[in-house]
């Protein structure tokens, strides 16, 4: 269990404003990232980086509003799609030299209703709702002015020396002659950069007049930071295991609905000299469907009369993949309700892969949704998973692997993952 240890630096206590204070989560996302261009909206494990913390903040139910402060149109679009409000920051606080404090101070000047700012870093994708709730309670219930996140590390530090002077380096935290074993040493606390919560008064004084300061200790598996390209693959593996996937992450998928055109195929139709239509299907996608079927997840291909593919061709595709074909006039939510009633399923037991704007209704209702990277609807919804691959070129296989990964993750949670924290 995570510890909420408090270190007081003075005896002052913060008096929250009368009544319930307005708590605003604020994510700073400037468009001019130097290490990784537009990294805040680059996909990490199928989700925009900033969306991982937005999802945690929105699901925490501890804040009254969730904001993204940005100077970039595309970041604004992604933030709104994922349910955040947007503060369009001024050019004065959008420079390379602008500090986070200056940007937050501008935000609270324009938002007089805000009493507590929960400044969350977009580059910390393993943040969970309970981290936000517990840290915020340290301000609202324990009277803290400022709370920041830390992680415990067992690292021996050495002071840097000028090699030209020929001095020996010294360690400020170990005795070389009596180097402690890891299990015998409590380690040290380091800021991990996940979040910094503070009262309005503390921010207005530039954090120079703080009363009660506290740190919130996060377990090391949740302490992930992304700064440069080399951090990305490591963060992706960590977030797949320890990230927060939303309230539906524990739902067991029993049915996978997949649109044919725009998902299983790339929409191209080939006509032979004899006038017979043909369509190409990627063998990887067929293998992905079979992977789901082996795990007792039924796969149903869906299409409607507006499809450019004939019903006869669609039936051949269904036969090739070993799937049932659901063919209707529109394939709207009502028709899917009838299908689920027939199979005795509820929405959170269904995964759906769509691609067109007409699929938005079903995509928004199912427990798990996915879209190919080249689909028109990819920019319109907050998809749980956006594939790296395009339609007809392995996107279905990729989403199938994601569904199975979530199933495995859910089973691990049921039996509790055993982490050797002494050697993490």
Catalytic residues: 179
Q: How many CB atoms lie within 10 A of CB 275?
A: 6
CA distance 163 to 309: 73
Q: How many CB atoms lie within 10 A of CB 105?
A: 15
What dihedral angle (degrees, nearest 10) is formed by the CA atoms of 329, 348, 26, 49?
A: -80
Joined together, the tokens standing for residue 315 give 């039936």
> Which residue in 78, 63, 65 sits closest to 29, CA to CA?
78
Residues in the chain: 424
**Distance from chain centroid for Cα 8:** 33
Please write down the long-range contacts of 96-103, taking CB distance under 8 Å and 24 or more positions apart: 96/32, 96/34, 98/30, 100/28, 101/203, 101/206, 101/207, 103/28, 103/69
What dihedral angle (degrees, nearest 10) is formed by the CA atoms of 365, 47, 148, 107?
A: -80
CB of 42 within 8 A of CB of 229? no
Residue reference for tokens 């870093």: 121
Residue reference for tokens 């199975």: 404
Beta pairing partners, 65: 24
- DSSP helix/strand/coil, 65: strand
DSSP run (H or E) holding 304: strand 298-304
CA distance 130 to 194: 13
Helix axes 311-321, 283-294, angle to 10 degrees: 60
CA distance 398 to 383: 14
């Amino acid at each position: 269990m995570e510890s909420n240890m408090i270190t007081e630096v003075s005896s002052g206590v913060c008096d929250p404003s009368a009544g319930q204070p307005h708590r605003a989560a604020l994510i700073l996302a400037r468009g001019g990232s130097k290490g990784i261009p537009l990294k805040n909206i680059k996909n990490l494990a199928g989700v925009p980086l900033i969306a991982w913390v937005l999802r945690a903040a929105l699901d925490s139910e501890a804040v009254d509003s969730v904001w993204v402060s940005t100077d970039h149109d595309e970041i604004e679009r992604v933030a709104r799609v994922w349910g955040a409000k947007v503060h369009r920051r001024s050019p004065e606080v959008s420079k390379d030299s602008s500090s986070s404090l200056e940007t937050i101070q501008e935000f609270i000047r324009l938002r007089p209703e805000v009493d507590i700012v929960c400044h969350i870093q977009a580059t910390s994708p393993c943040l969970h709702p309970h981290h936000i709730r517990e840290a915020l309670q340290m301000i609202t219930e324990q009277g803290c002015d400022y709370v920041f996140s830390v992680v415990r590390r067992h690292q021996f530090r050495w002071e840097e020396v000028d090699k030209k002077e020929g001095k020996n380096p010294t360690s400020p935290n170990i005795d070389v002659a009596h180097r402690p074993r890891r299990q015998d040493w409590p380690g040290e606390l380091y800021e991990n950069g996940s979040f910094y919560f503070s009262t309005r008064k503390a921010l207005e004084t530039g954090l120079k007049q703080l009363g009660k300061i506290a740190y919130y200790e996060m377990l090391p598996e949740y302490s992930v930071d992304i700064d440069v390209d080399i951090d990305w693959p490591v963060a992706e593996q960590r977030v797949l295991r320890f990230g927060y996937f939303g309230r539906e992450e524990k739902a067991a998928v029993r049915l996978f609905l997949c649109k044919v055109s725009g998902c299983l195929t790339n929409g191209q139709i080939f006509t032979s000299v004899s006038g017979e239509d043909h369509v190409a299907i990627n063998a990887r996608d067929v293998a992905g469907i079979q992977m789901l079927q082996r795990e007792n997840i039924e796969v149903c291909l869906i299409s409607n009369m507006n499809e450019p593919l004939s019903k006869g061709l669609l039936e051949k595709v269904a036969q090739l993949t070993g799937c049932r074909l659901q063919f209707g006039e529109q394939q709207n939510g009502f028709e899917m309700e009838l299908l689920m009633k027939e199979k005795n399923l509820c929405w959170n037991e269904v995964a759906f892969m769509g691609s067109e704007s007409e699929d938005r209704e079903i995509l928004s209702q199912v427990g798990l949704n996915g879209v190919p990277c080249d689909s028109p609807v990819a920019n319109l919804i907050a998809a749980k998973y956006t594939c790296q691959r395009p339609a007809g070129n392995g996107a279905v296989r990729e989403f199938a692997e994601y569904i199975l990964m979530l199933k495995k993750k859910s089973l691990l949670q049921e039996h509790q993952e055993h982490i050797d924290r002494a050697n993490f």
